[in-house]
């Protein structure tokens, strides 16, 4: 699910705020009217009540603050900022005004300004739940997961039943690959909110990453009961079906996701992978290129495109595509390995380049500390291509020793090449 992971924004109007005690009876009635309208999701009704009060009392900080929140709810961010600025000017010690202005700035992509507002709010009120929550989201999005956890832990300590904070903390745990802790938080959320689709999807992602694909399918299916047309969850369930070996249902989910959102990158990649597995090269290439339209640097799409070009026999284009992936992802071993395999074993004499294959395969092995059987196998093939059969046999024997956890058929395939290299013959194969 991906998953950029991905943290979820706060529901702005869920956190209560008491109006200042100093306001007059009429003001209290209007604020109460606004709050009642909010509870009924009647934002326009609440705005009308506040507009009346502000027209009479343009310096009423509480009314300006509430109207700013309402404008934020309507995504009228410029108006929200104007009102919250005025509320802060009138009551500079109001932590809630800073926290909600930070929220609006966060929604507008003004991350540094938002962080500054959350910090100001927390200097005024160290236990401001909304600021801690929003800052935790922001820090998580920045990859500062330890600091994000500290803020979200503080929210949960203040309010153990804050489902939004538990959900966000579960996603931060996912980023840190602490899957057990993530699962605990997502399960707490679904216990608090049995119809929370996002929490069920989070559980699905935990199960998927733990290799429990059937459990992942069940969790994603539960999420889809509440969000039946969510493209990303459909795509995620497609990957879970694929992991469970049900390619037909995986394909159906990718197609369903693309009907909802024809540009969904996860679904395009998933369908492209299935088409590549079926050697439907032209259709797979269409999917990878469509995915790259939306995310030009997507590693899987770039590598998938190179693999399709290789599989379809367009070796020159494939070599260029692998070189592009290597340039963008110089610390990822797979592009170096797959490129080396092409140069070492291609059936087209013009495509092979044994010397370059040795360099590339060595790089892949170095990046994996010489512990990946497939990459060492590729290096052996590269040595065989340059007629260095002594090193070819040596590397192939090392590959065999590293392949103990591979399926029996893979182990047998790797073992078989020892005799080939002992006979001083190179290996030829269309694609690995």
Is residue 104 pLDDT above 80, yes or no? Answer: yes
Per the model's pLDDT, the better-predicted residue between 6 and 370 turns out to be 370
Q: What per-residue confidence (pLDDT) applies to 431?
A: 57
* Cα–Cα distance for residue pair 319/301, rounded to 1 Å: 15
Specify burial of residue 226 (Cβ count, 10 A radius: 0-12, 13-18, 19+): middle
Give the number of other Cβ atoms within 10 Å of residue 341's Cβ: 27
Confidence at 15, pLDDT banded by 50, 70, 90: very low
- pLDDT at site 21: 38
388 backbone φψ class: left, alpha, beta (φ>0; ψ -120 to 50): beta
Query: According to the model, what pLDDT value does residue 45 have?
Result: 81
What's the confidence (pLDDT) of residue 46?
Answer: 83
3-state DSSP: the chain helix, strand, coil percent, rounded to 5? 75, 0, 25
Q: Tell me the pLDDT band of 10, cut-offs 50, 70 and 90.
A: very low
Inform me whether the pLDDT recorded for 2 exceeds 70: no
Q: In the predicted model, what is the mean pLDDT of residues 377-390?
A: 98
State the average pLDDT over residues 2-29.
Answer: 40
Band the pLDDT of 430: cuts 50, 70, 90.
low
Which alpha helices (DSSP H) does 227-353 contain, by range? 231-243, 247-260, 265-277, 281-294, 299-311, 315-328, 333-345
In this predicted model, which residue has the larger pLDDT, 431 or 4? 431
What pLDDT, in 10s, does the model give residues 20-32? 333 344 455 677 7
Q: Rounded to two decimals, what is the model's pTM?
A: 0.83
Region of residue 359 (phi > 0: left; psi between -120 and 50: alpha; otherwise: beta): alpha
Q: Are 280 and 267 in contact (CB under 8 A)?
A: no
CA distances from 133 to 119, 182, 234, 368, 390 (A): 12, 17, 29, 38, 61
DSSP string, 50-110: HHHHHHH-TT-HHHHHHHHHHHHHTT-HHHHHHHHHHHHHH-TT-HHHHHHHHHHHHHTT-
Would you say 380 and 356 are in contact if contact means Cβ atoms under 8 Å apart?
no
Average pLDDT over residues 397-408: 95
Write out pLDDT tens, residues 229-262: 999 999 999 999 999 999 999 999 999 999 999 9
What percent of the chain lies above the pLDDT cut of 90? 86
Domains and CATH numbers, the chain: 1-172 (1.25.40.10), 195-261 (1.25.40.10), 263-313 (no CATH), 331-432 (1.25.40)
For residue 390, what pLDDT is reported?
Answer: 98
> What's the pLDDT band for 354 if we cut at 50, 70, 90?
very high
Query: Using CA atoms, how far apart are residues 2 and 328, in angstroms rounded to an integer?
Result: 18
Q: How far apart are CA 6 and CA 29, in angstroms?
A: 41
User: Stretch 213-217: mean pLDDT, rounded?
Assistant: 98
H or E, element range at 382 = helix 373-385
| Residues 94 and 107: beta-carbon distance below 8 Å | no
pLDDT at 7: 39
The predicted-structure confidence for 263-307, as pLDDT tens digits, reads as follows 999 999 999 999 999 999 999 999 999 999 999 999 999 999 999
Q: CA separation (Å) from 359 to 111, 370, 382, 392?
A: 43, 14, 9, 14
The answer to whether 96 and 130 are in contact (CB under 8 A) is yes
pLDDT given for residue 300 in this prediction = 97
Q: What is the pLDDT of residue 294?
A: 95
What confidence tens digit (pLDDT) does each residue in 37-60 have? 667 777 888 888 899 889 999 999
Describe the crossing of helices 197-209 and 213-226 by its angle, rounded to 10 degrees.
170
| CA-wise closest residue to 138 among 106, 108, 175 | 106
């Amino acid at each position: 699910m991906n998953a950029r992971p991905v943290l979820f924004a706060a529901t702005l109007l869920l956190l209560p705020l008491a109006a200042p005690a100093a306001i007059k009876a009429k003001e209290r009635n209007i604020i109460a009217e606004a709050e009642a309208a909010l509870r009924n999701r009647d934002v326009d009704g609440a705005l009308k009540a506040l507009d009346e009060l502000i027209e009479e009392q343009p310096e009423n900080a509480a009314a300006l603050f509430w109207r700013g929140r309402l404008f934020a709810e309507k995504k009228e961010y410029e108006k929200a900022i104007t009102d919250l600025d005025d509320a802060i000017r009138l009551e500079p010690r109001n932590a809630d005004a800073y926290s909600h202005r930070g929220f609006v700035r966060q929604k507008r992509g003004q991350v540094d300004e938002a962080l500054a507002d959350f910090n100001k709010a927390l200097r005024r009120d160290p236990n401001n739940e909304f600021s801690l929550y929003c800052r935790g989201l922001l820090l998580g999005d920045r990859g500062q997961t330890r600091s994000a956890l500290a803020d979200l832990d503080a929210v949960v300590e203040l309010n153990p039943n804050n489902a939004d904070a538990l959900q966000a903390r579960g996603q931060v745990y996912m980023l840190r690959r602490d899957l057990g802790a993530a699962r605990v938080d997502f399960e707490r959320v679904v216990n608090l909110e049995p119809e929370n689709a996002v929490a069920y999807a989070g559980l699905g992602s935990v199960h998927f990453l733990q290799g429990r694909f059937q459990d992942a399918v069940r969790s994603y299916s539960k999420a889809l009961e509440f969000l039946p047309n969510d493209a990303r969850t459909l795509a995620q369930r497609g990957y879970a079906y694929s992991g469970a070996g049900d390619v037909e249902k995986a394909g159906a989910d990718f197609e369903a996701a693309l009907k909802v959102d024809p540009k969904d990158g996860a679904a395009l990649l998933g369908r492209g992978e299935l088409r590549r597995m079926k050697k439907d090269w032209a259709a797979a290439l269409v999917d990878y290129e469509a995915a790259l339209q939306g995310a030009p640097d997507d590693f899987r799409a770039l590598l998938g495109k190179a693999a399709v070009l290789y599989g379809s026999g367009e070796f020159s284009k494939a070599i260029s595509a692998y070189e592009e992936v290597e340039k963008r992802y110089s610390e990822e071993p797979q592009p170096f390995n797959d490129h080396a395999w092409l140069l070492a074993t291609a059936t087209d004499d013009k495509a092979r380049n044994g010397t370059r294959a040795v360099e590339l395969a060595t790089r892949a092995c170095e990046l994996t500390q010489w512990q990946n059987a497939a990459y060492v196998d590729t290096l052996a093939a590269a040595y065989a291509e340059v007629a260095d059969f002594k090193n070819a046999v040596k590397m192939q024997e090392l590959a065999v020793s590293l392949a103990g956890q591979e399926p029996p058929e893979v182990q047998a395939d790797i073992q078989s090449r020892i005799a080939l290299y002992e006979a001083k013959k190179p290996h030829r194969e269309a694609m690995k």
